[in-house]
Amino acid sequence: MEYSIKEIAGIIGADAKKLHDAPVSILLTDSRRLSFPEQSLFFALQTKTNDGHNYIQGLYKLRVRNFVVSTFLPEFESMPKANFLVVKDTLKALQKLAAHHRKRFNIPVIGITGSNGKTIVKEFLYQLLHNEFNIVRSPRSYNSQLGVPLSVWQMSDKNTLGIFEAGISQPDEMERLQPIIAPTIGVITNIGEAHQENFISSTQKCLEKLTLFNDCEAIIYDGDDAFIANCIESACLSHKAITWSRTDSEAPLYIESIKKLDSETIIRCTLLGFDRTYTIPFTDDASIENVIHCMAVMLYLKPTSVNDIEKFKRLEPVAMRLDVKQGINNCLLINDTYNSDINSLDIALDFQQSRRVEKNLKCTLILSDILQSGTLPKSLYKKVADLVRRKKIDRIIGIGRDLKEYGGAFDIEKEFYLTTDEFIKSPSFKKFKDELILIKGSRQFHFERISELLEKKVHETILEVNLDAVVHNFNYYRSKLKPETKMVCMVKAFGYGAGSYELAKTLQEHRCDYLAVAVADEGEELRKEGISIPLIVMNPEFSSFNVLFENQLEPEVYSFRLLDAMIKETERRGITSYPIHIKIDTGMHRLGFQPEDVPEVCRRLKEQSGVVARSVFSHLVGSDSYIFDDFTKKQLDTFTRVAAELEAGLEYKVIKHILNSAGIERFTDYQMDMVRLGIGLYGVSASGQKGLRNISTLKTTILQIQNVPAGDSIGYSRMSYVKRDSRIAIIPIGYADGLDRHFSNGGGEVVINGHRCPIIGNICMDACMIDVTDTDAHEGDSVIIFGEELPVSELSDKLKTIPYEILTSISPRVKRVYYRE
């Protein structure tokens, strides 16, 4: 749906500069996501760490002509074809525009909030109702102050139902989201601990979430949840309540019984007095609760929609993320079967482009027909073809009747097939090589078959790395700093076991100032893979000078011998002003110049032109413990004095940094010019900070379960005996994968289906045994070695070591799988 730029100026109350007629249909807040410049309106959002105004000149060169700004800068005068709408707050202007857009539609809108399950309930509702309504819904988990207006902007005249989710992390945020979604039906899933740190109490947080429902006709929730019920009463919303219950037979939806089987659950219930029995393909409590929420919504929205019990059997798990996996023949796979519409395709294509690091890696899109779009196929695939062209996709493989019929819209290398089976049997399927492949399909096309066949078959033990959690932790620490303070992130030791490249790429995308590696070879690999931001080498070797200079790696310099060698090498190569980083030993006694060496360091640097001190830094010994605070303060004072002496002696500005992760948490007054983020980036806080997220999960699967009679021994050397008839699971992870042998014989445990199970017997090289006697475990079930449910710090505490050792011990043969939520 289009608006004129003049309409938008009036809606948001902007002071319009240089107003020319222009149609707007796309709202843009991230310059990297530009697809259709002529139709885009860019909002120059400002955050603590970035400013959208900095990207306007670049966007203008890319033919964007419409901008919402909070400051009209002098350089904008040189853009004669641009429209500038000047407002006080660009985010509020975006929200105001979306709220105005929402008012144009008189259709049912479901607003979903809660601590967990929002996205799942939204997607389950879509699966259950898409044949009866033309649905517009939030892409993925677009539920923030920014995500909600972008979601609602998708509404058009063809839609007959809207489903949007709303999340908050601070007080007063829901008040801004309520008029944008303006739900007619509200769903509150549950209230947990998420984002509790910014609220006085859980009650305050719940009441804040409930403001979304002020103008709703109905509010749907679990009537057995006394906490939510009390909050709804306090908010004077009880008269709108539509509850489901396991205990109250008078509830509109009464759950008589829930029976879990091996792979499905049978729910017997009474809906408005009518008995029904539903079978759903899930057995976990969260999924069962989410489905019941959906039943209650459907019962209110359209009672007849619950009569089709077969569609509940067909519910499919919601893939909450974009997976990146190694494929056959040097291919990289991005698997996205989350949903199939042009908006989610746009997001997935952006993610694909962000992973395109080598020019000789062909970008391939495997796409199915886009179903229930509400747009005529000819127009739809013309738009898809335009999007694919703008995203610089090299080849498209289309599967489905519509794509085959309208494939002429695509002007790139292309192939089309009627069915997934036809494609798999084709000669082309065996020819994938050196490609970055996005697999994007509607569920009914069963593209998981394509993924399984193209995926490189490796060890069943994997380390999952959540790139969104990495970004969250990065921004968490950045929020503790002044806007001008730089950050260097440590990606040494294979990214603390998580894999250097994907982390480096993600941090580069989020404008990290520096990355640090241990040795030059690590830096060289990152350069080969397209990492272009400054890289510090913490332990440079004399034999690595060639690698340093050829890859523009900046070495730590800690001794006169190394300094002289660097100077001599730059002179030999004819290099001037090569950046180095001066290390001062303030008490670690590992590497570094002594404080008294600084005058001589200055003298040698001033007598040459080959190298220049980019920064001066030191390492804190015990910033993670108050026991060492006196020594830490002594180190900080020494470094402050020495750094000032170095800067004065050199007579130019030098970046100063000493704080590590724990230092950022506990000594922010000493952030100086830059800080170094290490273990905190990976979700481990030395001081127990609540705001961090776990980024990695080491997991495997149960290969076999054996019934072992009482009195038998388990494993090598007969170190463990079972005292009762037992069920013993064998899992394919051992000390060669990084599972420490000290966890043998009950020293460690794993998590299976939410239950902790002890390791029994000695851990082998490639396998170990788990006692699952008291757990409902089955062959093929997932096994968590560490992750959200079993923190890596708990493992390190058992071994009386540190989380670094656990993380960096994970073998390279363990496949890393990267994903975004």
The tens digit of pLDDT for each residue in 742-787 reads 999 999 999 999 999 999 999 999 999 999 999 989 988 899 999 9
Question: What is the three-state SS of 614-671?
Answer: EEEECCCCCCCCHHHHHHHHHHHHHHHHHHHHHHHHHCCCCEEECCCHHHHHHCHHHC
Residues in binding site for substrate: 590, 765
Cβ–Cβ < 8 Å for 228, 201: no
Cβ–Cβ < 8 Å for 708, 722: yes
The three-state secondary structure class of 472 is helix
| Highest mean predicted confidence (pLDDT) among 71-80, 341-350, 451-460 | 71-80
Specify burial of residue 653 (Cβ count, 10 A radius: 0-12, 13-18, 19+): exposed
CA distances from 765 to 6, 422, 698, 714, 736 (A): 69, 43, 17, 15, 5
Q: In whole angstroms, what separates CA 220 from the centre of its chain?
A: 29
Instruction: Give the mean model confidence (pLDDT) for residues 217-227.
Output: 95
Structure-model confidence comparison of residues 144 and 194, the more confident one: 144
Catalytic residue status for 626: no
For tokens 């990289």, name the residue: 332
> Is 457 a residue whose pLDDT tops 70?
no
User: What pLDDT sits at residue 21?
Assistant: 86
CA distances from 626 to 622, 660, 686 (A): 8, 15, 11
User: What pLDDT sits at residue 338?
Assistant: 54
Cβ–Cβ < 8 Å for 315, 280: yes
Tell me how far apart the alpha carbons of residues 413 and 394 are, in angstroms, rounded to a whole number.
6
For tokens 């798999």, name the residue: 424
- Which residues neighbour 596 within 8 Å (Cβ) at sequence distance 6 or greater? none
> Is 419 a residue whose pLDDT tops 70?
yes
CA distances from 351 to 323, 438, 447, 501 (A): 10, 9, 19, 15
- Which residues neighbour 604 within 8 Å (Cβ) at sequence distance 6 or greater? 560, 563, 564, 567
Cβ–Cβ < 8 Å for 695, 710: no
Tell me how far apart the alpha carbons of residues 168 and 547 are, in angstroms, rounded to a whole number.
47
User: What pLDDT sits at residue 222?
Assistant: 95
Residues in binding site: 590, 765
Residue 216 has, within 13 A of its CA and on its CB side, a CA count of 30
Tell me how far apart the alpha carbons of residues 682 and 466 are, in angstroms, rounded to a whole number.
10
CA proximity to 351, closest of 373, 335, 367: 335
Tell me how far apart the alpha carbons of residues 210 and 204 are, in angstroms, rounded to a whole number.
10
> Is 298 a residue whose pLDDT tops 90?
yes
Specify burial of residue 158 (Cβ count, 10 A radius: 0-12, 13-18, 19+): exposed
Pairing of strands 611-617, 749-752: unpaired
For tokens 């004129």, name the residue: 4
> Is 558 a residue whose pLDDT tops 60?
yes
Cβ–Cβ < 8 Å for 475, 691: no
Specify burial of residue 780 (Cβ count, 10 A radius: 0-12, 13-18, 19+): exposed
CA proximity to 609, closest of 563, 551, 567: 567
* Chain mean pLDDT for the chain: 91
Tell me how far apart the alpha carbons of residues 664 and 658 are, in angstroms, rounded to a whole number.
10
How do residues 308-349 score in pLDDT, each as one tens digit?
999 999 998 776 567 778 888 888 898 886 556 777 788 788
Provide the pLDDT confidence category of residue 494 given band limits of 50, 70 and 90.
Answer: low
Residue 288 has, within 13 A of its CA and on its CB side, a CA count of 20
CA proximity to 101, closest of 215, 24, 191: 24
Q: Which one-letter DSSP state was computed for residue 500?
A: H
CA proximity to 656, closest of 613, 592, 595: 613
Q: Which one-letter DSSP state was computed for residue 575?
A: -
CA distances from 464 to 264, 316, 467, 489, 572 (A): 26, 22, 10, 20, 46
User: What pLDDT sits at residue 139?
Assistant: 84
How do residues 144-156 score in pLDDT, each as one tens digit?
999 999 999 999 9
Q: Which one-letter DSSP state was computed for residue 229?
A: H
User: What pLDDT sits at residue 339?
Assistant: 59
> Is 458 a residue whose pLDDT tops 70?
no
User: What pLDDT sits at residue 33?
Assistant: 82
Cβ–Cβ < 8 Å for 617, 656: yes
> Is 714 a residue whose pLDDT tops 90?
yes
- The token pair that represents 717 in the structure block: 């050397």
Domains parsed from the chain with CATH numbers: 3-91 (3.40.1390.10), 105-313 (3.40.1190.10), 322-455 (3.90.190.20), 464-682 (3.20.20.10), 696-820 (2.40.37.10)
Instruction: Give the mean model confidence (pLDDT) for residues 412-419.
Output: 95
Catalytic residue status for 492: yes
User: What pLDDT sits at residue 499?
Assistant: 63
The three-state secondary structure class of 22 is coil
- The token pair that represents 239 in the structure block: 């008269």
How do residues 651-687 score in pLDDT, each as one tens digit?
999 999 999 999 999 999 999 999 999 989 988 887 7
The proportion of the chain whose per-residue pLDDT surpasses 70, expressed as a percent, equals 97
Cβ–Cβ < 8 Å for 782, 427: no
User: What pLDDT sits at residue 204?
Assistant: 93
CA distances from 453 to 414, 415, 436 (A): 21, 19, 15
Tell me how far apart the alpha carbons of residues 580 and 609 are, in angstroms, rounded to a whole number.
12
- Which residues neighbour 629 within 8 Å (Cβ) at sequence distance 6 or greater? none
Tell me how far apart the alpha carbons of residues 151 and 164 are, in angstroms, rounded to a whole number.
7
Structure-model confidence comparison of residues 357 and 192, the more confident one: 192
The three-state secondary structure class of 439 is strand
Q: Provide the edge-to-edge strand list for the sheet that holds 83-86.
A: 15-17, 83-86, 66-69, 40-43, 26-28
* Total residues found in the chain within this entry: 821
Q: Which of 492, 505, 656, 699 is catalytic?
A: 492
Give per-residue burial for 359-387: e unless 16+ CB within 10 Å, then b.
eebbbbbbbbbbeebebebeebbbbbbeb
Instruction: Give the mean model confidence (pLDDT) for residues 189-217.
Output: 88
Dump strand ranges (E) for 154-229. 161-165, 185-188, 218-222
Q: Is the dihedral of CA 402, 406, 412, 413 positive or negative?
A: positive
Tell me how far apart the alpha carbons of residues 306 and 294 are, in angstroms, rounded to a whole number.
10
Cβ–Cβ < 8 Å for 423, 368: no
Tell me how far apart the alpha carbons of residues 445 and 420 are, in angstroms, rounded to a whole number.
6
CA distances from 415 to 361, 397, 408, 424 (A): 19, 5, 11, 13
Range from 136-140, 208-212, 599-603 carrying the lowest mean pLDDT: 136-140
Tell me how far apart the alpha carbons of residues 394 and 218 are, in angstroms, rounded to a whole number.
49
DSSP codes of every residue in 723-773: SS-EEEEEES--GGGT--GGGTTTT-EEEETTEEEEEES---SS-EEEE-T
Q: Which of 259, 433, 606, 716 is catalytic?
A: 716
User: What pLDDT sits at residue 358?
Assistant: 52
The alpha helices in 427-583, defined as continuous H runs, are: 448-454, 467-478, 492-496, 500-509, 520-528, 545-550, 560-573
- pTM metric for this prediction: 0.65
CA proximity to 380, closest of 351, 358, 402: 402
